[in-house]
Each structure stands twice: as C-alpha cells, then as structure tokens.
Chain A
Amino acid sequence: MLQRFRIDYAKTQPLRYVSSLDLQKIWERYLRRAGLTLAYSHGFSPQPRLQQAHPLPLGYLGAHELIDIWLEPAVELTSTEVQQRLIATPQPGIEINRVEAISLEAPTLAKQVTAADYTVWLLDPVDPKELSQRVSQLLNASSLPRERRGKVYDLRPLIESLSLLTDSPSNLVGLQMRLAAREGASGRPEEVIAALGFDPFAVRILRTRLHFHAPSG
C-alpha cells in the first residue's frame, strides 16, 4: 500500500547548521526509527521517496517547513497515527506541527513555491532608527545590483516586502521580509542584510512561511 503524507515541521537549533542534503538523510533515519516504512523508487539504485518543498540553506531555522513522504505501511495509516509516531520518536532539531494525508497525484510542492517569509535578527547592536532609515532607502531604490558566486543580479525585484519587526522576543533588532522564491529568481535574506550595510554572517534567520501558487495539497 502506498500512502503520501505532507508534514509541516519546525527546523530548530540542533539542526541549524545542516544542509538540505544532510536533512534528507536525517529524515530517512527519523522515519525508520519511528517505524514508518518509506517507499523506495524503482530502478537500478532505489532511493527512499521523500521530497522537501524548498531547500532550507545551512544556517537557517524554519518555523513551517514542508516535506512530503511516501510510505508503504502494512496497514493503512491515518495522518494522526503518523503524527503520533513521529512525536513519540526523539529527533533533535525537528518539531512536528502537523501531518496531513494527501493525494498521491497532488503536484510536487517544489514546483509551486513562489515566495518565502523570513524573520532576520541582527546579532550585533543596531540603532532601530538607523535601521529603519536604511530599509526605506533600500525599498526606494529602483535596482540593487549585487554579486553572488561571480554573477551579477538585481536584488530589488526579489524583495516583495521588508519591514522592521515590532515585537521581537529577544533584545535583538529584527526584520521581516518576503522574498521571491521562484526557480531562477530566489532572494536570500543575508543578501538583503548585506545590501542594508550590515554583517550578513552575524544574523539569525528564521524562515517563517512558504508561499505557493495554487492551494497546496
């Protein structure tokens, strides 16, 4: 029996510095420990079937990440059962928000992502007034040419929104932003930080939400 589930989870501190490739392995082992039998692809070198909606770069935290898993259970499972098994199985750095059964035919999440919301805290002390000024300047710019991996691109059209965070839980000053996340047109929050003139490494980045074309699932 083949079943597909969509898992909404948080990627927290213990897994902050893993890549999405490493995260794939972590999920495989997590599911195996939870007694959830992954389906494998056919062919010469069968691979377990699980798909992250959108790779979360190394160093980022995630509040609502999405992964689709294909299971081959002996008896049909409900989403509640899957959720219970996952929650009962320890996995540092993954907190399950919600598990949903979805149709085997549902389109692949990765192809529908359009944008992502981020909260970015600046770890160095910053004057909020100064920050607010720089944010306005940045938003008023018609283009923001930047270079990444030897390629020049315009950051400005990738920024859909950018504002100061009003209620930051820590003492840190924060920003929230919505950046385009389409294929070939994806904005990175640390690029925005660098464009604002701050140290792009001294930040804590949390992806809070992914946006999709069509209603997902």
Chain B
Amino acid sequence: MNIRVTEPQEIEVWLENNLMRVQKPGRYVGGELNQVVKEWSSTPVKVALVFPDLYEIGVPNLALTILYEAINQRPDALAERVYLPATDMEDLMRAAGIPIYGLETKHPLGQFDIIGITLPYETLYTNVLNLFDLAGIPLLAAERHENHPVIIAGGHATFNPEPMAPFIDAFVIGEGEEVIHEILNTYKAWRSRSGSREDLLYSLLEIPGVYVPRFYIPHYHSDGTIQSIERTTNFAPATVYKRVVGRLPAPPTRPIVPSIDVVHNRIAIEIMRGCTRGCRFCHAGMVTRPVRERSVEEILHAIRQALQNTGYEEVALLSLSSSDYSQITHLVERVSQEATQQHLVISLPSLRIETVSVELMDRLKGKRQSNSFTLAPEAATDRMRAVINKPIETQQLLETTQAIYKHGWTKVKLYFMIGHPTETLEDVRAIAEVSRQVLAEGRRIVGRRASLHLGVSTFVPKPHTPFQWLPCDTPEQIQAKQRVLLESLKGSGIKINWTDPKETLLEAWLSRGDRRMAEVIYHAWSLGAKFDAWQDHFDYQKWMMAFQRANLDPAFYTHRQRSLDETFPWDHISPGVRKAYLKQEYLNSLQGVLRPDCRLRCFACGILPTYKELRRQYPGPHWKCPEVPVHARA
C-alpha cells in the first residue's frame, strides 16, 4: 500500500474527520484506563505489540498484557498496541494512504524499532501480511533492510514457525517474560554499534529460545517430505528449545481497561501454567510443560491489586485445568470470601468432570453471572477416551451433570470433538446417546427449564503432540459424522454447534505446513484472504486457488499418514518434550493404553532433562516435576 501520511498529528486529524464514518470507532483511538504513553523522541527502543485481529479480540490477550507491562516498566523502552482495522476502516485508510499506527501516540507502525506479533492460532496468518502491507513494510524478511523494524513473532502457533518463516525475522519459542529483556538488550547493543541487519539477526541467534529462520534451509525429498534442515551457519543451534521461566513472575495487575466492550472483558489471573494430564490431542498440554503454580497468597494479592487498578466486576482464574491446581479448594474459599463482599463475579474455567467441580463452582456463584456450566468430555466411549487419554466414565459425566442441575444451573454445555484417531460412527453416535441421557436427567431434576448445548469441534492433529503422525479426517468423513450426530439428536431439544469442515482444513494446512506453505499464505492474502478466523470472512475458494498458484497439494498436508521415521518441518523446534516420548504415546494410543496424571509418576517426557539446570535453580513444590538433586548428573 502507498503510504501518504507519516506524522502522528496528521493521522489524528484524519481520524477526527473519518471516525464517525466507521463501525465502532472506539477501536481506533486508544486512551483507555491504564494505557501507558511514553515520550516518543526520548525513549530509545520503541516496540509495537500486535494482536493481528480486531481490537476487541486482541485487547484481552494475556501474553501481550504481560509484555506491555514488562517493556513499559523499562526506562529505555516503550510499548504501544496495534490491532487490525475492520474492513470498513481499512478501506478508508487505504484510500487516504493512512498507515496502520500505534494506539498510544499514533506513530505509523513502520517507525517502530521492533514489532512483536503474537500468533496464538494459525488463522491469523493472512492478517499478518495485511498488517505489513498497511504499514508499507515489505512482506518478505529478505526484502527488509536496516531502516525497517525487526519483526518478531511468538505464541502457541509458532511451535511450527515454518509456514510464516519467510515473513518473520525471528521467532520466540515459548515463554516471553525473560527473553523479551534479552531481545531489547541485544537490540540496543546492536544499534549502538550501528551494525547491519545481518549482524542483528546473528546476535539474536545467541539468545536461547530465539529461532531465526533465514539461517535454516529445508531440503525436500521428491515426495515432498523433509529430507533435512540445513543450517547456513554454525552459530544457528541445531535444535531451538523453547524458553520457560523457572518460577512464574507476578501476574500483570494493571491491564488496559477498554472503554468499549471486548471479549473476556475482565481481570485474568493465571493461577498455573502447563498441564499434567497428557491428553494426546492437546497441543497446549504438550507445549506448555512443565506445570508451575502460583501460590494462593500471590493470586489473592494480584486480584486485590488488579481490582484496585481496574474497578472490574469479574475475575477469571485461568489455567489449562483448574481442578489440578493443588490448592484449588483453599483458593476458591479465599476468593469467594472477597467476592461476596464486592459483587464480584469469579469465573473458573477448565474444570474436571467430577462432582467436586460443581461444589467448587457453587461456592463461587454468589452473584452468578451465567446460568450455564461447561464441561469438556471430548469423547463418549471408553475406547475413544483411552485413545485420547482422557478417561472419564460416562457414569461420572452423568453424576457430574446431575449435580450441576441439582445445584441450580439450568444450562449445561458439553464440548466434544469428532475426528479422533480410529473414530467410528458408533463413537459418534455415543455422543448423541450420552447427551440425551444428560438432558433427560436434567429434565427430571429441574423440569423443562433444563437445557443442553453441545459444542462439537473437529480434531486436527497438531505438531508436537502424540498424534502428529496421523492424517485428518477428510471433509467427507467429517460431514458424514456431523450428519450422524444431527440425525441422532433430532427432536431431542439439544442445541448443537459444529465447525465447518472447510475451516478445519484451513487450520490443518496452516498448523502442519512446511515452509512452502508460505507461498500459499502469500497467494491467499493477495487474493484477498484475511480475517480467516471469522466465519463471514473465510473464503475457501481463495485458499484452493492459492494452493493451485503455489503448485502444492492440500491433501499432502492434511490427509497423509506420516511414517514413524519421517522428519517433520518443525523437528528443529523443541518444546522440551522428546519426539521419542510422543512416538511412545502415539503407540500407546493405538493400544488404548492410558497414562495417568504425571504428578503421580514421571513418564520422562523430556522436560526434566532439558530444563534440569532450571529445575535445580528453582527447587520446590511450585514446579510439579520431580526435583533434580544438586549432585545428580542427568
């Protein structure tokens, strides 16, 4: 795009003249409570933090909230926020040559030193290309020079960075709390020696957890699989291990309070990171290990501070599996005491399917904001549950939902997944059967007010999980399963949501792609693909055309069983979990072998040997892996 305006003041003037022409202009002005505005000219390092979607999706993002606070606390750096404009605003900006800008001071994105982009999921990729275009920044890393910002991406999707590798200068794999400071220091040192861009990229290589894709070249077999990943310099590590922090630092307690409504408009306090359950489909469960908990006192202190700083009426206690937080009962008791005094709503998502969860929620319900209770059984037959390693007996599910209805909730939401490995139509029908039983019990207990909602998503085998060797169901298989489900639920009064199989395909291509997928992403964007995560924007035909232009076969990525010795495009990136462990877990799934909670017994996933020094440095029960004795040699 052709940028015609470069001064913040001119951008401000243009905004005042045009904001009343667009939907929700409050997205584009900043100025919210707890925004940090720093003096532009006197602050040495300027960072733009980007969530590549709309303001109301991006503001609550916890990763960027953490980084915003961390960067702005440094006297030598500032952080501003950038979100993508909706299409009505984008059209006006393009027509007027207005670049995308930081909300705090309205400086064009191209004038920042570092652009940090979070990629929690893959359907944001085309938006990243659109972001660069709206900033007048060359799309390809290779075409950018010293005067362009250095572009760094992180987030869960970047555990397979390859599809975005040509567009990004460096990826941060894993947790950002410590590495952000190393990056800023490295950047400052580089600038004081007036080095070349090449020089900067070499310096970034030295930071553990940073992946600089331009120093790695994938080579392919004739069948399209990876033959090898060549390193163009010995300074580039053969494997980039993710960063983890030895102890979770204090959570951010001064988050931006948006003036307009956004999703998850509340205080979010992460009570625990990682999960010990080992569900085999779960990407987060594999890449966020090890489990580290915050203490009850620390959490309470953070809640009080955040309430004082925001005035929010709701607090969410976040983790991948709240029930597994070791002090959960104590925490809930303490939090609920404060909640009832202050008309606070406390939400505690991700509870295990057991009656204890219902009792926990019952304590929190004081001023209950919602009459619904959500559980995620994921599968409905014992065989299927053994495959995915989430063993919840149907009886247990029924008892739990009974308890929910008995305690006064009228709506139960159940999340299931279809497309699990080896799944048959019988397994799918069982979802309907279990659901009918749940609702029948609900009606028996609370009468006609009882309702049941099903969210049925479609499984995508993700990199770095035990299922990474497996193909996805074809759209025909998915549709057949969805039809069976709908038919078996006919007349039941159960509401059901499912995912369009085409959207599932996109997620699969992008999450399992190699570096050649970048060309597909590029073509899709140039054909107009953006906001792919939004049902009303996603355009399957554009993606099919993009595959054609890139001369690649989409089925190669989605419907191919990988051999056990295949090199994956993401094998040089490691979440600390060993591939051999994932393979063993894959084989276990085929035999229906269950692996219990690894707090009870370590299954040697690889985390401990990879981070043994860190574990030694941070002994104690907050970290749920066994301790490493000082004298041990692992």
Contact = CB atoms under 8 A, between A and B. Distances in A.
Contacts of B18: 201
A134 interface: no
A107 B31 CA distance: 35
B308 A33 contact: yes
A71 interface: no
Interface string B325-357: 000000000000000001100000000000000
Interface in B287-324: 307-313
B25 A59 contact: yes
A13 B31 contact: yes
A93 B17 contact: no
Contact of B26 (A22, A46, A190, A203): A22
A91 B367 CA distance: 26
Contacts of B310: 29, 33
Nearest to A29: B311
A26 interface: yes
B16 A93 contact: no
Contacts of A33: 308-311
Contact of B259 (A26, A190, A203): A26
B257 A14 contact: no
Contact of A17 (B17, B25, B307, B311): B25
A91 B31 CA distance: 10
Given A90-B33, A123-B17, A204-B16, A32 B311 contact: yes
Contacts of A17: 19, 25-26, 28-29, 259-260
Contacts of A59: 19-20, 25
B562 interface: no
Interface in A2-54: 13-19, 22, 25-26, 28-33, 40, 46, 48
A102 B33 CA distance: 29
B21 interface: yes
B16 A14 contact: no
Interface string B241-278: 00000000000000001011100000000000000000
Contacts of B260: 17-19, 22
B313 A29 contact: yes
A58 B35 CA distance: 21
A93 to B, nearest CB: 7
B311 A31 contact: yes
A126 interface: no
Contacts of B257: 29
A33 to B, nearest CB: 4
A202 interface: yes
A30 B257 CA distance: 11
Given A18-B260, A32-B313, A92 B20 contact: no
A92 B33 contact: yes
A46 to B, nearest CB: 7
Contact of A28 (B31, B307, B311, B367): B311
Contacts of B307: 32
A36 B312 CA distance: 14
B32 interface: yes
A22 B25 contact: no
Contact of B17 (A22, A48, A202): A202
A141 B355 CA distance: 73
Contacts of B29: 14, 16-17
B259 A93 contact: yes
A149 B42 CA distance: 49
Interface in B22-44: 25-26, 28-29, 31-33, 35
A46 B340 CA distance: 13
A16 B310 CA distance: 20
Contacts of A124: 17
Given A58-B25, A59-B25, A46 B32 contact: no
Nearest to B19: A17
Give chain B's interface residue range (CB within 8 Å of chain A).
20 to 34
Interface in B181-229: none
Nearest to B18: A201
B313 A201 contact: no
A184 to B, nearest CB: 24
Give chain A's interface residue range (CB within 8 Å of chain B).
20 to 34
Given A18-B260, A33-B308, A28 B313 contact: yes
B343 A93 contact: no
Nearest to B26: A17
Contacts of B28: 17
B32 A92 contact: yes
A170 B115 CA distance: 36
A170 to B, nearest CB: 12
B311 A123 contact: no
Given A91-B33, A92-B31, A14 B313 contact: no
Contacts of A14: 29, 31-32, 259
A90 B261 CA distance: 20
A59 B301 CA distance: 38
Contacts of A92: 31-33, 35, 259
B103 to A, nearest CB: 11
Interface string A174-190: 00000000000000001
B409 to A, nearest CB: 15
A70 B501 CA distance: 52
Nearest to A46: B367
Contacts of B259: 14-15, 17-18, 22, 26, 92-93
Nearest to B28: A17
Contacts of B33: 29, 90-92
A61 to B, nearest CB: 11
B106 to A, nearest CB: 13
Nearest to B30: A14
A97 B16 CA distance: 26
Nearest to A124: B17
| Of listed A32, A124, A202, A204, residue having the most chain B CB within 10 A | A32
Contacts of B31: 13-15, 92-93
A13 B32 CA distance: 11
A90 B34 CA distance: 9
Nearest to B258: A22
Nearest to A30: B311
Interface in A118-136: 123-124
A24 to B, nearest CB: 11
Contacts of B367: 46
A16 B30 CA distance: 11
B38 to A, nearest CB: 16
A74 to B, nearest CB: 12
Contacts of A200: 20
B257 to A, nearest CB: 7
B55 to A, nearest CB: 11
A18 B26 contact: yes
Instruction: Give 7 nearest A-B pairs by CB, closest first.
Output: A29-B311, A14-B31, A32-B311, A33-B311, A17-B26, A201-B20, A17-B25
Given A22-B260, A123-B17, 19 more contacts: A13-B31, A14-B31, A14-B259, A17-B19, A17-B26, A17-B260, A18-B26, A22-B26, A22-B259, A22-B261, A26-B259, A32-B342, A46-B343, A48-B343, A92-B33, A92-B35, A123-B16, A201-B17, A201-B18
26 contacts: A13-B31, A14-B31, A15-B31, A15-B259, A16-B29, A17-B19, A18-B259, A19-B260, A22-B26, A22-B259, A28-B313, A29-B33, A29-B312, A29-B313, A32-B307, A32-B311, A46-B343, A46-B367, A58-B26, A59-B25, A90-B33, A91-B33, A92-B35, A92-B259, A93-B31, A203-B20
Interface of A: 13-19, 22, 25-26, 28-33, 40, 46, 48, 58-59, 90-93, 123-124, 190, 200-204
